[in-house]
Structure 1
Amino acid sequence: MSTFLGALRRLLLTPSLASVTFAKRGFPVVESEATRRLESIPQSVICGFEWGIDSRTLWEVERRLAIVEPEFRGFAYEGATMAYTVRDAMAGGRGGCARELLLGPGQPHIFLTYIGIGFAMARLPRVLWKKVLPDLTGSPYFPTMSWLAVDGYGFDRAYFDTKKWIDGQYVPKSYPWAGAPDYFLRAVDQGIGRALWFIHGGNPAGVAAAVQRFAAHRRADLWSGVGLAATFAGGCAPDGLAALRGAAGDHRPELALGVVFAVKARTYSGFVPAHTETAAGRLAGLSLADAVRIADETEVSADTTGPVPAYELWRQRIRDRFVPDAGRLAS
């Protein structure tokens, strides 16, 4: 049950479902059954946000999220996390809503809930960012995967301000996230790469051409984002996935890196759709079990210190598994 304040927050802050459709955003997408299903993902995020920003208790939010079909439930948790992060910020950073969600029912979707924090960051002034990441000590992948919040920020800006961030290839001001300001822009580009998959409706030629228009030094991170989105979200037939792998060229190891993270996230959530298994095979030549094994064998300890974040060290180790096999991947 909502409260008056909750209803007011919902009315003032919740985007409409129509506002995230591909047509409304002006994306170059030819409507089909596949693109309509892909379009359901941002709409699932909006539903999760609406429930999170309005509901009185976490129990009520959890019960609402439970009715979302398993393939889209993690995206709804993204939206709920975004809402709870905004609510915590409105409480002066003293709220504990996001922490309770992420340590509780959101735990199976922890990879996506971090992204939800990034969606909130896109709507909050930077002065509040230092308080958006809750203390999740004891939670797996904390704080290593918190860089997905920055990824989420990049995705959001590319999706909602496409002319500036995609057409204009905007480079934002850096930020010392997790004490590593030099890596911030790379994590943003990983999110932009994911957004390109949606902006072009899973069309391999459109996605590849969009990546190619970016500066050369940004393309590796963009391709890893493309691989993650194509594998996690779906929206492309097997032949299209094979074409995408071919278009990645020298960046096939980065594409495969995205595949591995996507499979790991899907399996961790407890539900793996058929399109994820198909993408793992077509984009990286991997079975689901092989992708999870690579992720687990290369994982970096969260307490690793040094100039390179543990998150990027993990990514490098995964990528390196595919560099010697570049010839096989090209076959």
Structure 2
Amino acid sequence: MASAWRALRRRILTPNKKEAQLSVRGFHAKDAAARTMLETTGEMFLTGYAYAAEARHPAQAEARLELIPPQYRGFAYEGAGMGFAIRDGLPFGGGLVRRFLQGKGKDHVYMVYVGIGWALARLPRFRWARASAAAADPLLRWLVLDGYGFHQAYFHTYRYVRRQYQEPDFPWPAGGPAWYAGRVIDQGIGRAIWFVGGADPDVAADLIDAFDESRRADLYSGAGLAATYAGAADEAELRAFQRRARHYLPHVAQGSVFAGAARFRAGLVMPHTTMAAGLLCGITPEQASDLADSSRAQRFEVSDVPSYELWRRRIVSGLADLETAP
């Protein structure tokens, strides 16, 4: 009976994998290889979500997640983060994301926090506090909004990408600052634009350049993260993306550092990760991880600017210091 209930819960909670097809989403298809990689990424996200929806406890999902190929495993952990957050937000749920982050999920903490943002996009707002309770890190909690922005751009592309809709006075996290929430949501939208554009540098850049100039830095940062973490572009295409992003290269580099650090932390560095990080931020994934960690470890002075934004700025400054070092 219990297994039958878990299977039913999975069917009810889990989106159809066809939702990840570029043709269904109306996304640009650059070529067959890129389409396969981007669609598989979406399918593995939904696979991780399904594992979380059906699991009796997080450790059961972890055992299955660890069998997913390294190229896509981080996305599966992101999907599982969403699944457990959805369950935490439902009546009688609670504590699953926290337990997930105490196990193997801790190596994928960035992705799990992003997954929580997907859950917020699917739950009514009065459930947000329960669903996001595990996002307790005052710095990393902003990644939840990155996930929210990605979800909205991925599933509501016309409104958020084509029409450049911007969330007014976003109500999460409690205590704000509300003005910064929109910026992190834009970073998630930029990450999604890499998928919407089919990993085609010109299509992605055209989509970003259609936004108001005040939003492009965060959008390019998100796209740089996706280009490094998800891939689906060769060296020539990444160089073309750099040329298009010429006024926002420090922001692209910062996003690339986040991606390299996330893959290195989880032990999921792929050849494209090393290649993209080398081009977009000029360092290896291991160096990106060191830079992200050292920038985060420094004390953050009390400021009107969130520590997450100060962290991002320190990374940009650290990259500049590496360029000028003898």
TM norm. shorter chain > 0.5: yes
- 1:159 is matched with which residue: 126, 149, 154? 154
The aligned runs of 1:144-155 (5 Å cut-off) are: 144-155=139-150
- 2:317 is matched with which residue: 317, 320, 323? 320
In structure 2, how many angstroms separate the alpha carbons of the residues matched to 1:250 and 1:31? 28
Query: Aligned to 2:198, what secondary structure does the other structure show?
Result: coil
Q: Match of 2:63?
A: 63
Q: Is the 8 A contact 2:265 2:289 kept in 1?
A: no
In structure 1, how many angstroms separate the alpha carbons of the residues matched to 2:218 and 2:58? 35
| Change in CA separation of 1:245 and 1:324 when aligned onto 2, cut-off 3 Å | farther
In structure 2, how many angstroms separate the alpha carbons of the residues matched to 1:304 and 1:119? 31
TM-score in terms of structure 2 length: 0.92
| Change in CA separation of 1:288 and 1:55 when aligned onto 2, cut-off 3 Å | closer
Q: Match of 1:309?
A: 306
In structure 2, how many angstroms separate the alpha carbons of the residues matched to 1:227 and 1:2? 44
For 1:221, the aligned partner's letter is D
For 1:39, the aligned partner's letter is E
Q: Match of 2:115?
A: 116
| Change in CA separation of 1:326 and 1:22 when aligned onto 2, cut-off 3 Å | farther
Structure 2 unaligned spans of 5+: none
Q: Is the 8 A contact 1:29 1:201 kept in 2?
A: yes
Q: Match of 1:269?
A: 266
Q: Is the 8 A contact 1:14 1:46 kept in 2?
A: yes
For 1:262-305, what per-residue CA distance to the aligned partner results, in whole angstroms no more than 9, with x for missing partners? 11111111120010110011122223343233323322558754
In structure 1, how many angstroms separate the alpha carbons of the residues matched to 2:35 and 2:283? 25
Q: Match of 2:26?
A: 26
In structure 1, how many angstroms separate the alpha carbons of the residues matched to 2:30 and 2:114? 27
In structure 2, how many angstroms separate the alpha carbons of the residues matched to 1:58 and 1:296? 27
Q: Is the 8 A contact 1:2 1:54 kept in 2?
A: no
Query: Aligned to 1:122, what secondary structure does the other structure show?
Result: helix
Q: Match of 1:38?
A: 38
| Change in CA separation of 1:289 and 1:73 when aligned onto 2, cut-off 3 Å | closer
| Change in CA separation of 1:186 and 1:326 when aligned onto 2, cut-off 3 Å | farther
Q: Match of 2:171?
A: 175
Q: CA RMSD in A?
A: 2.2
Deviation at 1:189, TM superposition (A): 0.1
Q: Is the 8 A contact 2:90 2:127 kept in 1?
A: no
For 1:3-29, what per-residue CA distance to the aligned partner results, in whole angstroms no more than 9, with x for missing partners? 343223222221111111111111121
Query: Aligned to 2:132, what secondary structure does the other structure show?
Result: coil
Number of equivalences: 322
Q: Is the 8 A contact 2:135 2:141 kept in 1?
A: no
In structure 1, how many angstroms separate the alpha carbons of the residues matched to 2:167 and 2:2? 37
Deviation at 1:166, TM superposition (A): 0.6
Q: Match of 1:84?
A: 84
Deviation at 1:59, TM superposition (A): 2.8
Query: Aligned to 2:16, what secondary structure does the other structure show?
Result: coil
| Change in CA separation of 1:51 and 1:289 when aligned onto 2, cut-off 3 Å | closer
Q: Is the 8 A contact 1:300 1:310 kept in 2?
A: no
For 1:74, the aligned partner's letter is G
Q: Is the 8 A contact 1:151 1:192 kept in 2?
A: yes
Deviation at 1:34, TM superposition (A): 2.8
Q: Is the 8 A contact 1:197 1:229 kept in 2?
A: yes
Q: Is the 8 A contact 1:46 1:79 kept in 2?
A: yes
Deviation at 1:143, TM superposition (A): 3.0
| Change in CA separation of 1:16 and 1:321 when aligned onto 2, cut-off 3 Å | same
Q: Does structure 1 residue 237 correspond to structure 2 residue 218?
A: no
| Change in CA separation of 1:324 and 1:108 when aligned onto 2, cut-off 3 Å | closer
In structure 2, how many angstroms separate the alpha carbons of the residues matched to 1:130 and 1:59? 24
In structure 2, how many angstroms separate the alpha carbons of the residues matched to 1:2 and 1:62? 19
Q: Match of 1:51?
A: 51
List structure 1 runs of 4+ shifted beyond 4 angstroms: 300-304, 322-327
Q: Match of 1:206?
A: 203
For 2:116, the aligned partner's letter is I
Q: Is the 8 A contact 1:226 1:255 kept in 2?
A: yes
Query: Aligned to 1:299, what secondary structure does the other structure show?
Result: helix
| Change in CA separation of 1:319 and 1:144 when aligned onto 2, cut-off 3 Å | same
Q: Is the 8 A contact 1:84 1:97 kept in 2?
A: yes
For 2:96, the aligned partner's letter is C
Q: Match of 1:253?
A: 250
Deviation at 1:132, TM superposition (A): 2.3
Q: Is the 8 A contact 2:87 2:131 kept in 1?
A: no
| Change in CA separation of 1:269 and 1:326 when aligned onto 2, cut-off 3 Å | closer
Q: Is the 8 A contact 1:75 1:112 kept in 2?
A: yes
| Change in CA separation of 1:11 and 1:290 when aligned onto 2, cut-off 3 Å | closer
